[in-house]
Amino acid sequence: MGVMEIMQPAGATRWIAEHHPPGPIFHSFIDGGYLIWHLYPEYQILGDGRLEVYGVERRLELNAERPQGFRVLDKKYHFNTALLNFGRIDFSELLWYLHKRPEWRLVFVDDIAAVFVRADRSAIAAEVDLTDPQLLRSTNSEHSVSDAYRRKARHRFFKALKRHRRARTIWKQMVRDYPEFQN
């Protein structure tokens, strides 16, 4: 069947495999299987979504979509890298939290995921320039579910980082091209 890459943090995972930021990596439970497939054994993975293996308690423990939950897990696991798949999960608060923290640097972003690395470990890559007009410039011209998904995720990303003008532009283009999102 294959993998629908727009649902997986494929670009972020490739970036991690290429640049080797220090672990452990914070990630969502639902991305664990994909990360195991591409990053194990170099990186240990928190969990991979199999409730029959990890159980509901472990799933709930690792569910840190908000800053408060992240801080609890960070205190326990001492993350040096955070991969946020904002296309699948509303990580808006956590994106903003990490972005505003001087100890974290945004080093990668694509259509659906962002990678933050602790500042003292971020010599591996330059910080992403959010003012760069080339950043996430355009989507393909096809009218598809994947294109709509990418645009919606981009909107969520820029809105979370309080880049309201850019988020509004993306939203207007999306509504123009995909009127079903108007509601």
Q: What is the 3-state secondary structure (H, E, C) of the chain?
A: CCCCHHHCCHHHHHHHHHHCCCCCEECCHHHHHHHHHHHCCCCCCCCCCCHHHHHHHHHHHCCCCCHHHHHHHHHHHCCCEEEECCCCCCCHHHHHHHHHCCCEEEEEECCCCEEEEEHHHHHHCCCCCCCCCCCCCCCCCCCCHHHHHHHHHHHHHHHHCCCHHHHHHHHHHHHHHCHHHCC
Confidence grade of residue 99 (pLDDT, cut at 50, 70, 90): very high
Residue 144 pLDDT: 83
Q: Report d(CA 55, CA 43) in Å as an integer.
A: 22
Question: In this predicted model, which residue has the larger pLDDT, 182 or 114?
Answer: 114
Amino acid at 163: R
> What global pTM score does this model have?
0.89
128-154 pLDDT, tens per residue? 988 888 787 665 667 888 888 888 999
Q: Report d(CA 119, CA 59) in Å as an integer.
A: 28
Segments making up each domain of the chain, as ranges: 5-124
Q: Residue 135, exposed/middle/buried by CB under 10 A (0-12, 13-18, 19+)?
A: middle
Whether the pLDDT of residue 1 is over 50: the answer is no
Residue 29 pLDDT: 84
